[in-house]
């Protein structure tokens, strides 16, 4: 690279908005099979996909067992990646008539939803549950232990649970598909995850691999060589049980030999960074933050309905609190997201991944619950067999520039470095550049920026084969798309990072 034009400088500025586009294999992931997968749409996909709504996804399920009640042959249930196991009351499931003497009895049950403070107790019974697709048809079935809830209680000092106004145990219905049960859910082991223990798929002779992909529209059960392409992978560490008794009878299912810890990332709160556990939790809209050592965010009352208002005193992070999360593959960044607490100590306007509010915890290891809002920025997968999660940034890019769809966000510091470098080094007169700096319309988390003044798209490609009117592109190369509809490869991103000294 011998010359640098103004157009290329534009491309460099864009490149830091979403670099490190990695495929599953490129990031050290395993080869995935070409076996079946099954689509389970969200019953409330319209609401989940609307950035102005703060809702958890729901799916349609039903029991297929001689022990199941016919009061609700099918019902809609919240799908939660922050817990593991299906817990239902007598309005939805009837245990065997001989109770704990029945061969399907697994053992006494207990699960806690720590964010809200609800405790559920009952008994686990192995049964078959059906998963429903479009037109209310069964698309797959799983055989797993299901907890017949007999009692609901509250943790001491819980945020939401009110011991004087408890919901009826009979009305409980919750569908946990997460991992890393932890102290609140020692019985939340992989054998109880219906998405990992599919026993039959309609129209198929084999079953999916143990894993799933989430978007705002539904869940794809089963990871394959095709549906895992384009994800940035984050390796998980095995979760060791505190003691054997807490693992119930089986610590894992026949399909999954271990459970996994939460993803580890770097969290930066108001400029102070540290390693942290990160939970991608579809069950909540309020985030939960235990900041790194050395920073104590101010707290106050949040928007109506925020779970942090239930603390005494309220523990909602105040407006202006900045939170950034980044992940690395050990040598380079692979994904990140960030937000700043907005007006009324609530969501940041215009940032789709911003939670409804953020509850600050003062004690414990550094941690962030990313809430269901992560689905507004990323498609997400969980590989239970090999211990990976995957992230792929989403967005409605122009079809002619679909090659630029990213799989990760770049380091914020690199982004700031490029902006401070570009003006004085490559624009004459400099004031002309700063006028243009306000013109780009950048829509997070796309990998391109549209410059209205020049009528040009600039972006970084994640690499793709030629398809229709979209030419083949090279991964991590800077491209421009002009008003004439022509692509131009402006060179490798690494060259521009080196030229700017912003690596």
Domain 263-412: state its class: mainly beta
**Measured between alpha carbons, how far is 374 from 285 in angstroms, rounded to an integer?**
10
Q: Which residues contact 365 (CB under 8 A, 6 or more apart)?
A: 276, 277, 290
* Average pLDDT of the residues in 280-305: 95
User: 47-79 burial, b if ≥16 CB within 10 A, otherwise e?
Assistant: bbbeeeebbbbbbbbbbebebbeeebeebbbbb
Peptide bond into 470 cis (omega under 30): no
**Measured between alpha carbons, how far is 459 from 406 in angstroms, rounded to an integer?**
10
Q: What helix, strand, coil percent values describe the chain, rounded to 5?
A: 15, 35, 50
Architecture per CATH, domain 38-226, reads as Beta Barrel (2.40)
Instruction: Give tens-digit pLDDT for 183-219.
Output: 557 788 888 999 999 999 988 888 999 999 999 999 9
Per the CB < 8 A criterion, the answer to whether 191 and 259 are in contact is: no
**% pLDDT > 90, the chain:** 47
pLDDT class for 257, splitting at 50, 70, 90? low
pLDDT class for 498, splitting at 50, 70, 90? low
* Average pLDDT of the residues in 406-435: 38
For residue 170, give both structure tokens: 């009979």
Q: Is the pLDDT of residue 2 over 60?
A: no
For residue 458, give both structure tokens: 């600039």
- Write the CA distances from 79 to 70, 184, 193, integer angstroms: 22, 18, 11
Q: What is the pLDDT of residue 255?
A: 57
**Measured between alpha carbons, how far is 197 from 244 in angstroms, rounded to an integer?**
22
DSSP state of 187: T
Q: Which residues contact 103 (CB under 8 A, 6 or more apart)?
A: none
Domains 38-226 and 263-412 share a fold: yes
Domain ranges of the chain: 38-226, 263-412, 417-500
Q: What does the CA dihedral 462, 466, 472, 476 come to, rounded to 10 degrees?
A: 0
């Amino acid at each position: 690279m011998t010359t640098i034009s103004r157009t290329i400088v534009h491309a460099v500025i864009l490149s830091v908005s979403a670099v490190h586009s990695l495929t599953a294999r490129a990031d050290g992931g395993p080869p995935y099979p070409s076996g079946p997968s099954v689509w389970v749409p969200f019953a409330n996909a319209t609401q989940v996909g609307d950035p102005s709504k703060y809702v958890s996804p729901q799916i349609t399920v039903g029991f297929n067992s001689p022990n199941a009640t016919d009061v609700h042959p099918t019902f809609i249930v919240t799908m939660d990646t922050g817990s593991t196991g299906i817990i239902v009351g007598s309005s939805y499931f009837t245990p065997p008539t001989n109770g704990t003497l029945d061969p399907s009895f697994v053992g006494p049950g207990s699960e806690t939803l720590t964010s809200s403070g609800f405790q559920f107790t009952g008994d686990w019974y192995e049964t078959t549950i059906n998963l429903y697709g479009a037109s209310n048809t069964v698309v797959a079935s799983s055989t797993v232990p299901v907890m017949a809830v007999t009692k609901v209680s509250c943790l001491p000092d819980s945020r939401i649970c009110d011991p004087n106004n408890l919901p009826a145990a009979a009305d409980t219905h919750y569908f946990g598909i997460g991992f890393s049960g932890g102290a609140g859910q020692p019985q939340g082991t992989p054998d109880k995850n219906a998405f990992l223990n599919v026993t039959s798929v309609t129209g198929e002779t084999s079953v999916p691999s143990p894993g799933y992909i989430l978007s705002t529209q539904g869940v794809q059960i089963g990871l394959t060589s095709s549906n895992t392409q384009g994800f940035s992978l984050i390796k998980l560490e095995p979760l060791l049980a505190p003691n054997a008794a807490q693992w119930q009878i089986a610590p894992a299912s026949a399909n999954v030999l271990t459970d996994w810890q939460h993803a580890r990332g770097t969290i930066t709160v108001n400029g102070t960074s540290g390693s942290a556990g990160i939970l991608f939790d579809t069950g909540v809209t309020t985030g939960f933050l235990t900041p790194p050592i050395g920073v104590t965010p101010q707290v106050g009352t949040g928007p109506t309905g925020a779970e942090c208002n239930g603390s005494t005193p309220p523990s909602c992070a105040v407006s202006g609190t900045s939170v950034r999360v980044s992940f690395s593959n050990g040598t380079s960044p692979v994904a990140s997201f960030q937000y700043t607490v907005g007006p009324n100590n609530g969501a940041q306007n215009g940032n789709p991944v911003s939670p409804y509010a953020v509850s600050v915890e003062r004690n414990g290891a550094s941690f962030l619950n990313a809430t269901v809002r992560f689905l507004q920025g990323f498609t997400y997968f969980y590989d239970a067999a090999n211990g990976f999660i995957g992230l792929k940034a989403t967005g409605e890019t122009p079809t002619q520039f679909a090659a630029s769809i990213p799989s990760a966000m770049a380091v914020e510091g690199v982004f700031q470095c490029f902006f401070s470098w570009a003006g004085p080094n490559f624009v004459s007169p400099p004031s002309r550049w700063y006028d243009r700096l306000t013109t780009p319309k950048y829509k997070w988390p796309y990998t391109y920026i549209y410059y209205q003044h020049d009528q040009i798209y600039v972006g970084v490609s994640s690499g793709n084969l030629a398809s229709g009117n979209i030419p083949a592109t090279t991964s991590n190369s800077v491209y421009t798309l002009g008003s004439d509809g022509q692509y131009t490869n402006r060179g490798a991103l690494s060259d521009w990072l080196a030229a700017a000294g912003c690596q």
